[in-house]
Amino acid sequence: MVNQKYKIILSGGGTGGHIYPAIAIANELKSRFPDAEFLFVGAEGRMEMEKVPQAGYDIKGLWISGIQRKLTLKNLAFPFKLISSIWNARKIVKSFKPDVAIGTGGFASGPLLYVAASKKIPSLIQEQNSYPGITNKLLSKKTQKICVAYDGLERFFPNEKIIKTGNPVRQDLLDIDSKTVEAKNFFNLKHGKYTLLVLGGSLGARRINELIESKLDFLDTQNIQIIWQCGKLYYQQYKIYNNTNNVQVYEFLNNMDFAYAAADIVISRAGAGSVSELCIVGKPVIFVPSPNVAEDHQTKNAMAVVNNDAAIIIKETDLNVDFENKFSQLIVSPEKQKELGTNIKKMALIHATTQIADEVEKLLRK
C-alpha cells in the first residue's frame, strides 16, 4: 500500500471509555499509513491530556466540560466554555488542515467534530453505548458515518449512516492467555492461588470500593489475592490496604493486558468499553452496573451478556445481600467459571478496530 501523508484528527475523552477507543483507532490507522500525521483534541484538565501523550500522540486541549444534570453554578460557565471551545477548535482545524475527523464521544469531541463537519471535512463518530450521549446525537446529523456496538440505534441516528462494528479495544488483549505466568510474576502474585481483579472505571466506583473494603475478611477466608483498581478519586482513601496481605491497590492500571491475564475472576462496572474488553478477555465476570448513567445503559450492557449465560450481575442495591453467596458459588465451581468464560468470549467482536479503520479509509479515499 502506498504511504499517504494524510492528516487525521481525533477527539474523545473525559473517561477511559472514550480515550482508549480513539487511541486504538489511531494505532490501526498509523499501521496502515505510517507517514500520516495525527492530532488529538481533548478537554483541558481531563485524563486524555495525560494518556494520549503516553500513547505517543500530540494533543491540544479545549476549555470545555459537560452540562451538570442538576442545577449548579458550574452550568453558568457552560455557554462561555462552548463558545471558547468552538473558537479554538476552528483555529486548530484551520492550522492542522485534517483530511478526516474522528470522534469517540466526550466533551471535547462536540466542538471539534462540529467545526470539522461544518468545514466539509469527512467525519466519523463512534458510539460505544447502547444509549448515546447528547454530543453524538447532535453530531450524527452532520457526520458521514456512525460506527456503533449495539443493535437498535436507528432510534437515535440516521439509519443509512450506521455501521455495526463493535467497540475498539487494545490489541494487546487479544492474546492474554499466553501472558498468565509473566503477568502473575509482574504483580508478584502467588501461582496456584485465585486472583480477583476489581475494576471501577478510570475514575473509580464508590460503591464497588465500599464493597471490597467491607468484604476483605470474607475474601481472605476464600483464599483470594486481589488486584484492586480503586480509581483516581479514591486512591488516597484506600491505599492503606496495600499494607494488607494479598491486597494490591492501584489508582490506575497501565498494564491492563497483564491485569486481565493474571485474573481468574473479575468484578467490573458495565461501561461499554469494559464489556467489550471483557468479552475478548474471556474470564468469569461479576458485573455491578452503575445506576448513575443515562437510561441505565450499564444495566442494559450487562444484561446483553447475562442473557447469554456469560456473566453474573449484581445490582448495587443487592450487593449486601447477594455478593457473598454468588461469589462463593462461583469460586467453588470451576465448571461455572469455564462456562461463563467460554460464553462471554463467544460474544467478542474482535475486528471492531479494523472495521472502523476501514470506514475511515473509505472517507480518506473519496
Residues of the binding site for UDP-N-acetyl-alpha-D-glucosamine: 15-17, 129, 170, 202, 298
Whether 197 and 219 have beta carbons less than 8 Å apart is answered as no
Binding residues: 15-17, 129, 170, 202, 298
Please, which residues bridge with residue 62 across strands? Answer: 43
Sort strands 247-250 and 162-164 into parallel, antiparallel or unpaired: unpaired
Residues ≥6 apart with Cβ < 8 Å to 275 = 287, 301, 302, 304, 305
CA distance 335 to 92: 55
Q: In this structure, what C-alpha cell is assigned to residue 328? A: 462463593
Q: Please name the residue ranges forming H helices in the chain.
A: 16-32, 48-54, 78-96, 109-118, 134-139, 180-186, 206-214, 216-221, 235-238, 256-262, 272-281, 297-306, 319-331, 334-346, 352-365
Phi (first) and psi of residue 187, to 5 degrees: -90, 5
Phi (first) and psi of residue 262, to 5 degrees: -75, -20
